[in-house]
């Protein structure tokens, strides 16, 4: 991607399109910079283009290839969210017309310095995030961006944002790619590769099936019993603040395909289950981005990875297994596999990785999708400060997340007559029960958050600026969290 600062509209004649953002006013729409081309003025005068949020109209002027009027809504209502949505729509419209060289008239944003910077970042990030396709055909993507009215120093920040977006795209690819390709070994190879490419900033450790057995991760072993491919336990560490003890551990659910196991999912519920490793994709991509950005923080991705499939060797409802930390668990339902492998990952982290805080990301329950819909992730946490920081990061990144209760009186529902815990406790409040199961494995004195992203990790069809299928949900949120935590 070539990105340049240009000082005038007149100098963008070679661009395939010039995006001209406009405010909506009580009278006619108003371009953000003064442009006196008569071709532009006509749709404004006639009221054909009103400048509503995300409204677009192509106009053809003699002096340029194309112009795209883009509505930003009313100036007083401007927010990063509006910018993200509008520029997402603009980028999609441009790609439809096969425009690969795009110029943008950048508005003089209102507000304080920080607010201005955020709006500009949102604009740039929206264009880059929209510049993605799956399957990867040779459809053209944006290759050139020219910004009219920005400063040279803004370009440095763009470069940083580009690295974050690359990681989002990596997470999307991993989710979108077929499950016969993205296996536990594939994720492990990726971690090793990322470490190699990082020139020493990242360190990858992979436990294979034998090492997992030797470590007695009984729950991860149980889920993987029926799988044709071996499980992997993957650790990818970035140490950006070597002299400090502070250490965020991000645990990602890495179920590379979830059939439900012997409690088989019905037709209609299984087709998208290659996306059940979205948590893993996000934490690996986040740590890769943290290293690329050289963030001053210590962060590790931990990924328990296996398939959950049917075989003569599959683990069975009614079986009891012993977890890594010694807890015995009765299997009430083999489709509640995510919490099992995450439990072992949490205990392993506590015992071996000296975490200051743990954040897990998982496509854990269908119930969270019923509760919040597929645009919003659920946040459960035992710590108010961590909750607040994560919510701030979600707000700033435009990734929607809503707090859910860790209602302790429901813990009794997870009781078992034959073991310390059952992995299910009935249908009601299913997302909370999943979170409470995990909480059992977290020590009380460590801040922990569980993000159930079963909704926004994978979409049947695109929604606002979120693409169809793999969304890469959480990468930007977590990077924002790590940036704020490290300053």
Tell me which of Mn ion, Zn ion, ligand BES, none is bound by residue 452, counting a contact when its beta carbon lies within the kind-specific cut-off of 5 to 8 angstroms.
none
Residue 220, interface with ligand BES (CB under 6 A)?
A: no
Q: What are phi and psi of 411, to 5 degrees?
A: -55, -35
Cβ-in-10-Å burial (0-12, 13-18, 19+) of 141 comes to: middle
Q: Using alpha carbons only, give the angle 115, 148, 97 rounded to the nearest 5 degrees.
A: 105
Helix 384-397 crosses helix 475-485 at what angle (to 10 degrees)? 120
Q: Given the complex with ligand BES, which of 166 and 420 has the nearer CB atom?
A: 420
Could you give the string, one character per residue 336-355, with x where binding to ligand BES holds by CB under 6 A and - elsewhere? xxx-----------------
Q: Given the complex with ligand BES, which of 23 and 437 has the nearer CB atom?
A: 437
Residue nearest to Mn ion (CB): 335
Q: Which stretch binds ligand BES (CB under 6 A): 349-357, 366-374, 470-478, 479-487?
A: 366-374
- Residue of 55, 276, 325, 399 interacting with Zn ion (CB under 5 A): 276
Q: What are phi and psi of 115, to 5 degrees?
A: -60, -45
Residues whose CB falls within 8 Å of the CB of residue 399, separated by 6 or more in sequence, listed in order:
377, 456, 473, 474, 476, 477
Q: What are phi and psi of 258, to 5 degrees?
A: -120, 100
Task: Count interface residues toward Zn ion (CB under 5 A).
Answer: 4
- Minimum distance between the CB of residue 21 and ligand BES, rounded to whole angstroms? 37
Q: SS3 of 114, please?
A: helix
- Minimum distance between the CB of residue 320 and ligand BES, rounded to whole angstroms? 17
Ramachandran bin of 200, using left for φ above 0, alpha for ψ from -120 to 50, beta for the remaining angles: left
- Residue of 327, 365, 381, 389 interacting with ligand BES (CB under 6 A): 365
Q: Using alpha carbons only, give the angle 125, 128, 133 rounded to the nearest 5 degrees.
A: 140
Residue nearest to Zn ion (CB): 258
- Residue of 424, 435, 436, 442 interacting with ligand BES (CB under 6 A): 424
Q: Given the complex with Zn ion, which of 78 and 220 has the nearer CB atom?
A: 220
The catalytic site residues sit at 265, 339
CB atoms within 10 A of CB 482: 24
467: DSSP letter: P
Q: Given the complex with Mn ion, which of 125 and 335 has the nearer CB atom?
A: 335
- Residue of 366, 406, 416, 446 interacting with ligand BES (CB under 6 A): 366
Residue 363, interface with ligand BES (CB under 6 A)?
A: yes
Please list every residue from 269 through 298 that binds ligand BES, using CB under 6 A.
Answer: 276
Residue 452, interface with Zn ion (CB under 5 A)?
A: no
- Find how far residue 429's CA is from the centre of its chain: 25
Residue nearest to ligand BES (CB): 366
Q: Sign (positive/negative) of CA torsion 227, 230, 233, 235?
A: negative
Please list every residue from 308 through 327 that binds Zn ion, using CB under 5 A.
Answer: none
Please list every residue from 299 through 338 that binds ligand BES, using CB under 6 A.
Answer: 333, 335-338
Tell me which of Mn ion, Zn ion, ligand BES, none is bound by residue 121, counting a contact when its beta carbon lies within the kind-specific cut-off of 5 to 8 angstroms.
none
Q: Given the complex with ligand BES, which of 271 and 484 has the nearer CB atom?
A: 271
Given a contact cutoff of 8 angstroms between Cβ atoms, the answer to whether 162 and 128 are in contact is yes
Q: Which stretch binds Zn ion (CB under 5 A): 54-62, 65-73, 255-263, 365-373?
A: 255-263
Q: SS3 of 201, please?
A: coil
Strand positions, DSSP E, 75-190:
101-105, 144-148
Residue 258, interface with Mn ion (CB under 5 A)?
A: yes
Nearest CA-CA partner of 232 in 259, 252, 203? 252
Please list every residue from 336 through 355 that binds Zn ion, using CB under 5 A.
Answer: 338
Q: SS3 of 251, please?
A: strand
- Residue of 430, 470, 472, 474 interacting with ligand BES (CB under 6 A): 430
Q: Which stretch binds ligand BES (CB under 6 A): 19-27, 361-369, 376-384, 472-480?
A: 361-369
CB atoms within 10 A of CB 47: 10
Q: Which stretch binds Zn ion (CB under 5 A): 39-47, 102-110, 268-276, 430-438?
A: 268-276
Nearest CA-CA partner of 309 in 225, 382, 246? 225
Helix 278-292 crosses helix 152-176 at what angle (to 10 degrees)? 150
Task: Count interface residues toward ligand BES (CB under 6 A).
Answer: 16
Q: Given the complex with Zn ion, which of 132 and 441 has the nearer CB atom?
A: 441
- In angstroms, the CA 461 to CA 454 distance is 15
Please list every residue from 240 through 259 that binds ligand BES, using CB under 6 A.
Answer: 258
Could you give the string, one character per residue 330-359, with x where binding to Mn ion holds by CB under 5 A and - elsewhere? -----x-x----------------------
- Minimum distance between the CB of residue 258 and ligand BES, rounded to whole angstroms? 5
Q: Could you tell me the two tokens for 55?
A: 């409204």
Given a contact cutoff of 8 angstroms between Cβ atoms, the answer to whether 478 and 282 are in contact is yes
Residues that bind Zn ion (CB under 5 A): 255, 258, 276, 338
Binding site for Mn ion (CB under 5 A): 258, 335, 337
Contact positions vs ligand BES (CB under 6 A): 258, 276, 333, 335-338, 363-367, 369, 424, 430, 454
């Amino acid at each position: 991607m070539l990105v340049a600062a240009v000082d005038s509209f007149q100098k963008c004649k070679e661009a395939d399109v010039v995006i001209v953002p406009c405010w909506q006013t009580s009278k006619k729409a108003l371009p953000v910079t003064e442009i006196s081309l008569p071709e532009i003025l006509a749709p404004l005068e006639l009221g054909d283009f009103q400048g509503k949020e995300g409204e677009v109209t192509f106009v053809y002027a003699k002096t340029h290839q194309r112009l795209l009027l883009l509505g930003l809504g009313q100036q007083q209502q401007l927010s990063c969210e509006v910018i993200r949505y509008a520029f997402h729509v603009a980028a999609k419209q441009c790609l439809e017309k096969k425009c690969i060289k795009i110029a943008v008239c950048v508005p003089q944003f209102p507000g304080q310095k920080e607010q201005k910077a955020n709006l500009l970042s949102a604009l740039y990030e929206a264009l880059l995030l929209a510049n993605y396709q799956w399957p990867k055909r040779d459809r053209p993507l944006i290759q050139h961006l020219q910004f009219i009215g920005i400063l040279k120093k803004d370009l440095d920040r763009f470069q940083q944002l580009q690295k974050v977006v690359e990681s989002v795209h990596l997470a999307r690819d991993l989710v979108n790619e077929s499950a016969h390709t993205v296996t536990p070994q594939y994720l492990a190879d990726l971690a090793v590769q990322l470490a190699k490419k990082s020139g020493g900033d990242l360190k990858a450790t992979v436990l294979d099936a034998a090492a997992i057995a030797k470590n007695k991760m009984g729950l991860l072993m149980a889920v993987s019993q029926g799988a044709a491919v071996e499980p992997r336990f993957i650790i990818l560490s970035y140490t950006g603040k070597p002299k400090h003890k502070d250490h965020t551990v991000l645990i990602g659910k890495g179920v590379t395909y979830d059939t439900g196991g012997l409690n088989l999912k019905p037709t209609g519920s299984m087709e998208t289950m290659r996306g059940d490793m979205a948590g893993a994709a996000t934490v690996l991509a986040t740590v890769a981005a943290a290293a690329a950005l050289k963030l001053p923080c210590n962060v590790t991705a931990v990924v328990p990875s296996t398939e959950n499939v049917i075989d003569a060797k599959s683990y069975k409802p009614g079986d009891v297994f012993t977890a890594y930390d010694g807890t015995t668990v009765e299997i009430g339902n083999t489709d509640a596999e995510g919490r099992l492998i995450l439990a072992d990952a949490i205990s392993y982290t506590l015992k071996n990785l000296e975490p200051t805080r743990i954040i897990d990301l998982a496509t854990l329950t269908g119930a969270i999708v019923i509760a919040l819909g597929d645009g919003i992730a659920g946040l459960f946490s035992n710590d108010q400060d961590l909750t607040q920081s994560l919510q701030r990061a979600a707000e700033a990144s435009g990734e929607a997340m809503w707090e859910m209760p860790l209602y302790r009186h429901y813990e009794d529902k997870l009781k078992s007559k034959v073991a310390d815990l059952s992995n299910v406790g009935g249908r009601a409040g299913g997302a909370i029960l999943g979170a409470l199961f995990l909480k059992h494995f977290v020590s009380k004195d460590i801040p922990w958050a569980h993000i159930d992203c079963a909704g926004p990790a994978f979409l049947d069809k695109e929604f606002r600026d979120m693409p169809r299928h793999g969304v890469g949900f959480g990468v930007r949120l977590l990077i924002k969290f790590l940036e704020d935590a490290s300053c």
